[in-house]
């Protein structure tokens, strides 16, 4: 369920690509209880559809900044999954955002924003360390530039191998601690962002509109992300998740330039003050409730932001202009199918469950 607020999507893609993407609960770590045999046999277990409403926290306080710029988003996140083996699955991820307030990143009012599509081959557990019971997982994820932003970055493909470590404890309804590392390598045509008329319209008085093809922003070449997460079930279905992530992004280096002047071509060396690294932080606190096997609800607050503001000062790490409050409704496809199958086996005797399924079908 949890995911980062789409109001920070542009920032996340530019400074911390490993955090960008569809936001949804990780089925490998959301629950510490073991699934039943029937659930384990479903090859598409973990497939979910999440509907999210989110708004900037500073919207609650118009005096927080001189320029009041609230943002309210609706997001549909799709997370298909298919298990090739017991713990090896192929996973797709993509989302569609729609901002209901005045958008700073689209050309039209209520313009849908399609994310990049990710395809991952992930081992949820490929080895368990004896005695300490640490479960090791990992895999590789490919990113495809279906969003306008990635197309402006001239991204061909991103490649992200990852490694995860998690440990479960028999505390209350279940406690799980996890750590994840991801290395992301981007393959771009150019080292800086460019734009085209059909993507980001640009008005220019220059005949060939050359300034429209350089947005003055350097593309990230690679990034290193570290994520820590703790999830505890207070009861069988009520849980709290706390996560923290750090990302260091290396930009493409600035090359020497040759500028034409009246006196001829002049070589301009790259500035020694340029920094090729960007740091970013992400936080998330969520309280969720698995109402049924097929439907979950979550309320949370999240922040993903660059460490430095535009003026070079450090941003407040926890609450700033990129902090968001969100509410998620997540539908588990395998949970819904299993519930319907159980109803058929029971002959419809469980009227309460029949009403539950009917309510979901009506949606």
Per-residue pLDDT, averaged over 20-45, amounts to: 53
User: By 3-state DSSP, what share of the chain in percent is helix, strand and coil, each rounded to 5?
Assistant: 15, 45, 40
Helices (H), the chain: 9-15, 37-41, 148-152, 333-346, 351-362
Kindly indicate whether the domain formed by 6-250+278-362 is annotated with CATH number 2.40.160.40: yes
Tell whether the model's pLDDT for residue 244 goes beyond 90.
yes
**Residues 6 or more apart in contact with residue 163 via CB below 8 angstroms:** 136, 137, 138, 180, 181, 182
Tell whether the model's pLDDT for residue 305 goes beyond 90.
no
Instruction: With cut-offs at 50, 70 and 90, classify the pLDDT of residue 145.
Output: very high
Instruction: With cut-offs at 50, 70 and 90, classify the pLDDT of residue 323.
Output: confident
pLDDT of residue 284: 94
Torsion of CA 8, 12, 18, 22, to 10 degrees: 30
pLDDT of residue 139: 95
Q: Helix 333-346 crosses helix 351-362 at what angle (to 10 degrees)?
A: 140
Q: Which of 65, 78, 90 is nearest to 22 (CA)?
A: 78
Q: How far apart are CA 59 and CA 62, in angstroms?
A: 6
Tell whether the model's pLDDT for residue 17 goes beyond 50.
no
Please write the tens of the pLDDT for every residue from 87-114.
899 999 999 999 888 777 767 778 888 9
CA angle 295, 296, 300 (to 5 degrees): 155
For residue 228, what are its two tokens? 């820590």
Least confident of 17-31, 129-143, 326-340: 17-31
Average pLDDT, the chain: 78
**Residues 6 or more apart in contact with residue 122 via CB below 8 angstroms:** 88, 89, 91, 137, 138, 139, 141, 162
pLDDT of residue 12: 40
Q: Which of 141, 163, 166, 126 is nearest to 28 (CA)?
A: 166
The pTM score is: 0.76
Please write the tens of the pLDDT for every residue from 343-353.
877 654 544 44
pLDDT of residue 32: 39
Per-residue pLDDT, averaged over 268-294, amounts to: 83
For residue 236, what are its two tokens? 């069988």
Q: How far apart are CA 157 and CA 188, in angstroms?
A: 7
DSSP code for 153: T
Tell whether the model's pLDDT for residue 218 goes beyond 90.
no
**Residues 6 or more apart in contact with residue 161 via CB below 8 angstroms:** 138, 139, 140, 141, 182, 183
Per-residue pLDDT, averaged over 277-295, amounts to: 91
Please write the tens of the pLDDT for every residue from 245-270.
999 999 888 766 666 677 777 776 76
Q: Name the residue with higher pLDDT: 193 or 134.
A: 134
Please write the tens of the pLDDT for every residue from 172-217.
989 999 999 999 999 998 888 776 544 555 554 544 444 455 556 7
Q: Which of 85, 90, 74 is nearest to 23 (CA)?
A: 74
């Amino acid at each position: 369920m949890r995911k980062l607020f789409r109001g920070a999507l542009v920032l996340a893609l530019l400074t911390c690509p490993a955090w960008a993407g569809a936001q949804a609960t990780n089925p490998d770590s959301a629950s510490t209880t073991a699934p039943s045999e029937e659930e384990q046999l479903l090859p598409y277990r973990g497939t979910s559809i999440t509907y999210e409403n989110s708004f900037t926290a500073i919207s609650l306080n118009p005096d927080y900044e001189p320029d009041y710029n609230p943002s309210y988003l609706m997001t549909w996140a799709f997370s298909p999954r298919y298990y090739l083996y017991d713990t090896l699955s192929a996973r797709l991820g993509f989302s569609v955002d729609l901002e209901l307030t005045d958008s700073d990143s689209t050309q039209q009012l209520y313009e849908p924003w399609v994310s990049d599509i990710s395809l991952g081959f992930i081992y949820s557990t490929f080895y368990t360390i004896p005695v300490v019971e640490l479960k090791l997982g990992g895999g590789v994820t490919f990113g495809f530039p279906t969003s306008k932003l990635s197309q402006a970055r001239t991204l061909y493909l991103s490649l992200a191998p990852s490694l995860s470590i998690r440990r479960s404890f028999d505390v209350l309804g279940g406690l799980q601690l996890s750590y994840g590392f991801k290395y992301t390598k981007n393959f771009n045509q150019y080292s800086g962002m460019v734009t085209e008329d059909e993507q980001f319209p640009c008005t220019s008085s220059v005949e060939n509109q050359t300034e429209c093809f350089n947005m003055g922003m350097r593309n990230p070449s690679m990034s290193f992300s570290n994520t820590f997460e703790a999830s505890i079930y207070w009861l069988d279905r009520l849980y709290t998740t706390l996560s923290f992530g750090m990302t260091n992004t290396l930009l493409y280096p600035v090359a020497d330039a040759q500028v034409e002047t009246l006196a001829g071509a002049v070589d301009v060396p790259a500035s020694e003050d340029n920094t090729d690294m960007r740091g970013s932080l992400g936080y998330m606190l969520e309280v969720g409730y698995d109402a049924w096997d097929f439907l979950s609800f979550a309320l949370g607050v999240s922040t993903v932001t660059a460490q430095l503001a535009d003026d070079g000062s450090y941003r407040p790490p926890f609450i700033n202009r990129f902090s968001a409050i969100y509410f998620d409704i997540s539908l588990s496809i395998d949970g819904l199918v299993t519930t319907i199958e159980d109803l058929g086996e029971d002959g419809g005797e469980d009227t309460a469950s029949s009403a539950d399924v009917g309510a979901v079908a009506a949606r």
